[in-house]
Amino acid sequence: MFGAKLKKIRNHFSATQDKMAEFLGIGTRTYTSYERNENNPPYSMLVSLCKNQNVNLNWLIADVGNMFNPPEYNDSFEEIFENIENHRKNIENEKQSSYNATKNFLRDEVRQILKDEGIIK
């Protein structure tokens, strides 16, 4: 029942049966017997796999939904929008600083040229 799904998860992570067995804390023969549907894994192992690898338990047990749960975001929308606004303000400040530096540079260059040509003192 779970064999094909365990194999699909293992292949997703490009893991060998040995590595999956090691990750789950079981012997390779035991893991292989689960993939071959010779034995059913204990639910505690399945829950552990789901928690540690973000596997969707509904998919694993009932074939409902996607193989993996969507990522969880710890930031609230307010924090995300605040970060975006701060980033926008930083960009605006950098643009203004760059504009001012360019304006001052050009003013000084024009002034120097006018001095060199004797137009101003």
Same-domain status, 86 and 113: yes
The C-alpha atoms of residue 8 and residue 28 are separated, in whole angstroms, by 17
The answer on 78 and 35 residing in a single domain is no
Residues in the chain: 121
- How many structural domains are present in the chain? 2
* CATH number of the domain encompassing residue 43: 1.10.260
Q: Does 90 map to a domain?
A: yes
Say whether both 58 and 13 belong to one domain: yes
- Are 34 and 82 members of one domain? no
Give a yes or no: residue 46 inside a domain. Answer: yes
Residue 1's pLDDT band (cuts 50, 70, 90): confident
**Contacts of residue 24, Cβ cutoff 8 Å, sequence gap at least 6:** 31, 45, 48, 49
Res 112 pLDDT > 70: yes
Q: For the segment 17-61, what is each residue's pLDDT rounded down to a tens digit?
A: 999 999 999 999 999 999 999 999 999 999 999 988 999 999 999
Range of the domain at 110: 73-121
pTM exceeds cut of 0.75:
no
Whether pLDDT at 79 is above 90: no
